[in-house]
Amino acid sequence: MLDLETLGEVLVARLNGELDLNNAVELRRGLDRALDGFTVRHLILDLEKVSFMDSTGLGVLLGRYKRLAGTGGKLAVLGLQPPVRRVLDLSGVLRVVPEFSSLKQAVEALKRGEASA
């Protein structure tokens, strides 16, 4: 469900499957462990392989956004499938969390401090 990679001060988390009540706690713990364990400032969630997200998944995403914002970091997303984009758009998340079309674009924007929704 969670594949991690660090690119300097950016943590890239590639998720797959459904992001819902059944796995939200495990995902939250995994992301928090990674954020605690690596010296990173920003987080990119690659959601290309996520087919569904419910409100608990949304809560995990927003919790990481708040955590990063509290330390001057940023959260970005990429690879949104239509059902996931719909949830993020309707909830207003895409107004505060920027979406990028590629990992390279997201990493460069975060490193330059230009990532904004």
Range of the domain at 47: 2-112
- Provide the 3-class DSSP secondary structure of residue 20: coil
Q: What is the pTM of this model?
A: 0.94
Domains contained in the chain, number: 1
53 within domain boundaries: yes
Query: What is the maximal distance between C-alpha atoms in the chain?
Result: 36
- Using alpha carbons, select from 9, 97, 114, 95 the residue that is nearest to residue 45: 97
Domain containing residue 63: CATH number: 3.30.750.24
93-112 pLDDT, tens digit each: 999 999 999 999 999 999 88
**pLDDT bracket for residue 72 (50, 70, 90):** very high
